[in-house]
Amino acid sequence: MKNPRKILLTLIFTLSLSLLSACGQARTSEPGSSEDKKHIRFLYNFSTSSLDPHLGSSYVPLNAGITETLVKLDEEQLTVAPWLAQSWDSEDGQHWSIELRPDVTFQNGKPMTAEAVKASLDRALKESVAIKNALKIDTIEADGQKLSIKTVQPFPEFISELVHPNTSIIDVTETDFVNRPVGTGPFQLKSFSPGSKLELVRYDQYWDGASPLDTVDFMFNEDANARSLALQSGQVDIVYRPEVNGLEMLDQAKGIAVHSTATFRVHQMTMNLERSTMQDIDVRRAVDALINREEIVASILLGYGETAVGPFLPSLPFAPSYSSNSLESGKDAAVHYLSQAGYTLQNGSMQKEGQPLELTLLTYSARADLPLIAQVFQSDAKEIGIQVNIRQIDTPEEYMASNRDWDIATYSNLTAPRGDAGYYLNATYHPTGALNFSGTEDKALTALIDELNVTVDTEKRAELAEAAANYVRDQVYNAFVLHPATIVAYNEDKVMNWVTSKSEYYMITNKLDVNL
């Protein structure tokens, strides 16, 4: 049976796009309008109500080409590449000298000086505890186009932390950060309708060459089916993560191209270690064993992904082999683990000391496959007597950070967006980590991560990352489900130079173009 809410959302969205289209057609017929303007309509799967680049997890200001960071990820080489910073150096891993590009201006025309960058970083450190913990900055000094930064301890991977979108450089003398951030990117913000749309216009003085596009509409819709319909009807030019079930039809449609690429992302079951039930490692092992990864990849992702054993794609140099620590899987294994935890099956219900095993599972619709994974898990758990109550939430980061009334949660996480294991391990398992929603606080694991943070040698870092990932796996602090491919569909007769970013950071660039 089709989901009535989904149908309603689709109808509303289609109607909205029709109205937008009608408005657009009306505008092009107005006196003075130009039909040769280059314009792209991009439809994204996450909405946002704030464009503050230093807060939140939508990263839309960076995605939309409004802001930039000091360095970026070279996704082919898995190395850090210059961006607003043209070079950097440190002799001891604690005192850093960063040389900024001399020809960069903010979208209000002001020059991007070291003093302006310092002010932006100071604000990010003040506003975001996660960034403060990640950057570990003690002092910043500015002189011309040179930044001198001292970290609180030797931190050889400091520069790679500056890839993070929350370190975006903005002009902080402009004060409406939520609705009108002013960055250095190829597009400046014309208007922002929270939860609905950004209107962007080309910044002609962009330091890396002005975009051939005149304008961009960066729109939001969390319904995957609606996104696919919008592309098919010609209402938008590019859709991010169209509905998987409709990909074959999109791929066969004339004039539509479908791209998929492996990314640094994992879908996982986050375990809430603050719940007494989940503190038992055998219960966590049972949850892990119940996840039918092959079925999920085949039936939900239709093969657009691969099963996960740990957080990192096997092709990454720091991904463990897991050859000696693999957990058993399947319903029989789950029952075995639960029996070790003291549970027995009575009258169709898995019980311990007369109390049935009942789990609250969070999920959210912005990633269309996660609710389906939750349903498959719920069905499989029911077969061995576990009651799973699925609860739909809107913003997982906000909910999990402030509420502890859940046991497990479907969650999707970028595990190596800077080409290194440090980001994910620090964010997810360090006690100060911004994404430590499981509440992990394990001295042995923290020690491994802390050692990783001060280690320079690449091979040694890989060994430490592998050890930490294996430890997480052995303790089943989270259960890893699959590595989804990122899928993008677009009008191939119109769109030129689209690149599907593996890190999912870089979308609207100054290279993107259209055929008129």
Please report, in tens digits, the pLDDT of each residue of the chain (516 residues total): 344 444 444 444 444 444 344 333 333 334 445 567 999 999 999 889 999 999 977 899 999 999 999 999 888 887 899 999 999 999 988 999 999 999 999 999 999 999 999 999 999 999 988 888 889 999 999 999 999 999 998 888 899 889 999 999 999 999 999 999 999 999 999 999 999 999 999 999 999 999 999 999 999 998 889 999 999 999 999 999 998 888 888 988 899 999 999 888 999 999 999 999 999 999 999 999 999 999 999 999 999 999 998 898 887 877 877 655 567 889 999 999 999 999 999 999 999 999 999 999 999 988 889 999 999 999 999 999 999 999 999 889 889 989 999 999 999 988 887 777 888 999 899 998 888 999 999 999 999 999 998 888 878 888 999 899 999 999 999 999 999 999 999 999 999 999 999 888 999 999 999 998
CA distance 214 to 282: 58
Q: What is the CB-side half-sphere exposure of residue 319 using CA atoms within 13 A?
A: 16
CA distance 371 to 369: 6
pTM: 0.82
Q: What pLDDT sits at residue 25?
A: 39
Return the exposure string of 365-385: e unless at least 16 CB atoms fall within 10 Å of the residue's CB, then b: bbbbbbbbbbebbbebbeebb
Residue with tokens 């173009």: 513
Are 468 and 310 a contacting pair, CB within 8 Å? no
Q: What pLDDT sits at residue 422?
A: 86
Nearest C-alpha neighbor of 415 from the set 355, 484, 348: 484
At 502, give phi and psi (nearest 5°): -70, -35
Beta strands 408-414 and 265-271 are: antiparallel
Q: Which tokens hold the place of 15?
A: 């109607």
Are 480 and 319 a contacting pair, CB within 8 Å? no
